[in-house]
Structures are given as C-alpha cells and as structure tokens.
Amino acid sequence: LVRNVTKNSNWLNTVNAEPNDVLVFSIRVSSTGNATVTGIFIKETLPNGIIYQDSFKIDSSASSYDIIKGFNLGDILASQSKTISFEAKVAEASQFSFGTTNLYLTTLGYNANLVTTTVIKVVVTKKAVAGAATEIKTGLTN
C-alpha cells in the first residue's frame, strides 16, 4: 500500500501525487498457513520519478537493509506477519511533462517455494502555473 504524507491520504493501492510530494510505502509479508515460511527475499523496483529516501523499517524499527538491492527477510512463523515500510519522494516538477504521469512500483517477494509480485500505482500530476497579469491596450480611452 502507499500513502501520500504531503496530502495526508489514506493507505491505498493507487495514490495521487504532485512533484515533491512525500510518500510512504508499506508491504505486509504474512504466513497464513500452519507452517513457517522460510528464506523470504524481498526487493522493490522504483521507477524514474520516485526517489528512495533511505528510511527503511521492519515492524516500525529502523533497519539497515536495502529494499532496492533486496534483502533476506528471514523466516515468518505460522500465522505471523512482518510489515516493511519506506519513504520516497516524487521527483521535482522538471522531471515530468504537464498533465498526468503513471508510475508503477513493483515489489518482488520469493523463497524456494513461491514467487509473488505486487504493483502500486502513483499518479503524478504536473499542473501549469498561470501566467502573470499583463497590460493589453485596447485603443479605448475615457
């Protein structure tokens, strides 16, 4: 899930953003069965236009793992889950065309028995700035 911190949005699968907005991403990894899931590897792919802010956490505790390079999350016991989160920033306005740009972040999770991916969409809108007032001569006088 993703949340736009700048706009104080809810947690969503798709979020609207503008250049320079701050986003937080959350990934929940769970073992829903009766067995321990072992050797879980997690990797995030960020598109151009989303800048990782080096604020990686596992279950709300800071971690030195690198979500971009990928890391071994280890084992998850039966009925247990771990929540991974990190902060990213939408690039500055000069990196986008006017209008909307769709950016997709892909999370890959796998072990010896399973491969799964999750895609999050960030819709970036770059708005035009209205020009300054100008003087227009009409030829009319009082």
Domains, in order of start, for the chain:
2-126 (2.60.40.10)
**E strand map for the chain:** 2-4, 14-17, 22-30, 37-45, 50-52, 57-58, 61-62, 71-76, 81-90, 99-110, 115-126
Rounded to two decimals, the pTM is: 0.86
Residue 3 corresponds to which tokens in the numbers above? 């949340």
Q: Is the pLDDT of residue 132 over 80?
A: no
User: Is 136's pLDDT higher than 80?
Assistant: no
Residue 137 has pLDDT above 80, yes or no: no
> pLDDT exceeding 70 applies to what percent of the chain?
90
Q: Which residues contact 30 (CB under 8 A, 6 or more apart)?
A: 76, 80, 81, 82
Q: Flag whether pLDDT at 95 surpasses 80.
A: yes
pLDDT, position 42: 97
pLDDT at residue number 142: 58
Mean pLDDT rounded to a whole number for the chain: 92
- pLDDT by residue (tens digit) across 47-74? 999 999 988 999 999 999 999 999 999 9
- Which stretch of DSSP H or E encloses residue 14? strand 14-17
C-beta separation of 120 from 67 below 8 A:
no
